[in-house]
Structure 1
Amino acid sequence: MSSIVIISGSPSEFSRSEQVLKYLGGLLKKEHFSVTHVSVKDVSYEDLFTGNFNSPTVKQIASLIEEADGVIVGSPVYKGAYSGVLKALIDILPQDVLKHTPVLPLMTGGSPSHLLAVEYTLKPVLATLKAHNLKGIYILDEQIDKQNAIPIIDVEVLQRTKKQLDYFIQLVNHTVGSAAAIPYQR
């Protein structure tokens, strides 16, 4: 069974981005993936803001990510970029933690003017961790209802999101298949 790690960069307890990530995790479980959710809230603020690379929690998160066959990273847009607390976590992860790993970036925001935040902020920082970035998903806050079992309420956005998730699944399955055939690639 392939493993997926979903990382939430939202500091909010019940955010739109986190609800979408949980929904995607449910879809992946239906496809027989092992899914682990990680949140920036799982790491103490002392470890994040002092850059504690040796924190047991940070080491555990890094290990989960390194062993994952695929990773989804989501964050709300704050001031035109991903959350600062997500950046604090990324800064204390090993430099190549995402090496050769398919990564699906996802952002939610209140304005269409932040559409390119995925391309210009989140994807570049994931690339520094050696991620194999996919196209990514941006969803407007108004297209999400946190109370619904299917939080993405816009039909076209839901279809586009499922299409990106399907592509992610195909890439993960291909990567896992390639790694099984040639063990040293992964």
Structure 2
Amino acid sequence: MPTVLSLSGSPSATSRTARLLRLLDARLASQGHRVVPLDVRELPAEALLGADFAHPALVRVRELIEAADGIVVGTPVYKAAYSGLLKCLLDLLPQYALTGKTVLPLATGGSPAHVLAVDYALRPVLSSMGALHIVPGWFVIDRDIEARPDGRTVLAPAAEQALLPLLDQFSAAVHRAAPARLAATA
């Protein structure tokens, strides 16, 4: 069973980004993936800001990345770029931490004016970290992510129609790459 690390770079406890990722996690799990959610905001600030590479929480993140076949990276867009919190984590990872991984970059934001942040801010960083395959990313406008009173998250139909085929493409790519990755590490 391929493992997917679902990484939220949002600093907010009521994050639409994290809600979106948890919704997509359920779909990936239904497609035969073991999904491990990770909210960067739950990591110790002193370890992130102090660049404490030996901190057990950061060691654990590196282990989760190493064990993952695929990684979904979600971030809110601030000032036309991915979150500073996500940057703090990415800066502390080894240069080629994503080698051999299939990656799906996702971003959320209040305006379609920031849609290019996925391709011009996030994708180059993921690529420089050695990702084997970065599937087309997607930007979801905040108003298209509805948090229902019963705790469910619902995507607007147009957003769902655009995003789910990309998620399925990611899922298929992870399934294809997982046996080769396991054979290479054996």
Corresponding position of 1:174: 176
Give the structure 2 partner of residue 28 of structure 1: 28
Give the count of matched residue pairs.
183
Q: TM-score, normalised by structure 2?
A: 0.93
Matches within 5 A, 1:1-186: 1-131=1-131, 132-147=133-148, 149-153=152-156, 155-180=157-182, 183-184=183-184
Structure 2 unpaired stretches of 5+: none
CA distance in 1, matches of 2:175, 2:62: 22
Unaligned residue ranges in structure 1 (runs of 5+): none
Deviations 1:33-80 (A, max 9, x none): 111111112211111111111111111011111110100000001111
8 Å CA contact retained: 2:108, 2:141: yes
* Larger strand percent: 2
* Contact residue 71 and residue 103 of structure 1 kept, 8 A: yes
User: Does the CA-based 8 Å contact 2:29-2:35 persist in structure 1?
Assistant: yes
Q: 1:185: how far off?
A: 7.0
CA distance in 2 between counterparts of 1:8 and 1:179 reads 24
* Structure 1 residue ranges (4+ consecutive) displaced by more than 3 angstroms after TM superposition: none
Counterpart of 2:137, as a letter, is G
Shift of 1:129: 1.3
Q: Which amino acid aligns with 2:100?
A: H
The DSSP-based 3-state class of the residue aligned with 1:97 is coil
Q: Is the 8 A contact 1:15 1:146 kept in 2?
A: no
- CA distance in 2 between partners of 1:178 and 1:17 (Å): 31
